[in-house]
Amino acid sequence: MTNYAEHSPILVAIDCIIFGFDGNDIKLLLIKRGFAPAKNKWSLMGGFLLPNETLDEAANRILKQLTGLEGVYLEQLNAFSAVNRDPEERTISVAYFALIDIHKYEKQISDQYHAEWFLLSQKPKLIFDHDEMVALAQKQLRYKAALHPILFELLPDKFTIPQLQNLYEGVYDTVFDNRNFTRKLLSTGLFVKQAAKDKSTSKKGAFYYKLDKRKYKVKQAAFLNFVPKADKFL
């Protein structure tokens, strides 16, 4: 430690952007910050890196501590290092984003920190540079969704085509033509039609489908068909 004595210590924080899908809308999970500065302001889930853990370990610990969630999709996004980003102390934040099916995990979310779901279009202003983190996470989510089946982390094992279309429209903040979306979806050959139907929204109902993950490994480029001119959204 003697060799580093002349250097000022810098805190490392972890902030988690948690996206969820309820079958109709994509949402963001937020909490009210419990301490100064910016106490009682809306914030992402966050905490500080401990001396004995890696960044990934810290992200998983913080996610479980603040929400009760564990074993969910979690990916490192970016580091945020503006000198004055935290008015209290020089702090570098490493942001992660998580993807969950709200219905699958709603009973696990802890109410200790009064976490609330917000539509992305209606989220309140967040503390520090958290709005910037969310915007970057949305951009990364759109990029990856055009290439990989990442959005299926937000869906139940069985889903309907209308649910999938709602999800893609929410992520890309646009509206797709129903027939074209369905045609492109089924043309990939990546989906297995189930015998059961979801009749919660109509008497006719909509068939459930499952993603064939084995076929996906061979036909990864098929996901580019879902989003016309995907590059314009990135």
In this predicted structure, the answer to whether residue 234 has a pLDDT above a threshold of 60 is no
* More reliable by pLDDT, 126 or 229: 126
Q: Phi, psi (5° rounding) for residue 206?
A: -130, 135
Which residue in this structure is represented by tokens 């279009």? Answer: 121
180-219, pLDDT tens digit by residue? Answer: 889 888 888 889 999 998 887 777 788 999 988 787 766 6
Question: Among 1, 17, 18, which residue's Cα sits nearest to residue 102?
Answer: 18
**Domain regions of the chain by residue span:** 2-145, 150-233
Coil, helix or strand at residue 181: helix
pLDDT for residue 214: 80
Asked if the peptide bond before residue 37 counts as cis, ω within 30 degrees of 0, the response is yes
- Out of 55-64, 71-80, 145-154, which region has the weakest mean confidence (pLDDT)? 145-154
CATH architecture assignment, domain 2-145? Alpha-Beta Complex (3.90)
Domain 150-233: CATH class, spelled out: mainly alpha
pLDDT for residue 110: 61
Coil, helix or strand at residue 171: helix
